[in-house]
Structure 1
Amino acid sequence: MKPYLLSLGAGLLVGAVYSLMGVRSPAPPVIALVGLLGILLGEQVVPVARRLLEGHSPSAAVSQAGCARHLFGRLPGHDAIARDHT
């Protein structure tokens, strides 16, 4: 139940921001895509910040949080790279 309430709260917040910006929902495609990018990047702030507070270097914090894997998914050529390393 908690994830649903959090999702509803996030949706209400985004709706309020859209209203303040004068954008009707559904948002125009570019605005919606920029918003989705913000969501993806925002999800990575907490794990990276935790690692930075633990004393990791910025590059190590980003690497250990798996940001690239989360943001881009499985990139083309991943299987070929994995085969080369075995």
Structure 2
Amino acid sequence: MKPYLFSLGIGLLVGVLYGMMGVRSPAPPVIALMGLLGMLVGEQAVPVVRRLIAREPVLPYVRTECAEHILGPQARRGCDPEQSG
């Protein structure tokens, strides 16, 4: 969680600097970011459906590989109490 908060803080600082300089941010609008999120989630739907068809366990995959792909490596630490910290 710390890397996400750090990233948000740095982003806010850069946004303030951009505002003080009177320039527009090159970041994509929120609608584009939602599209990217949809792409990440949709990409993970295929392996989940394959596991369902093969009657393999889905939840362990979602908690590890899928979460790590969508949320980054910090997601795996968040699901495993032994690795958090």
TM-score for the superposition, normalised by structure 2: 0.49
TM-score for the superposition, normalised by structure 1: 0.49
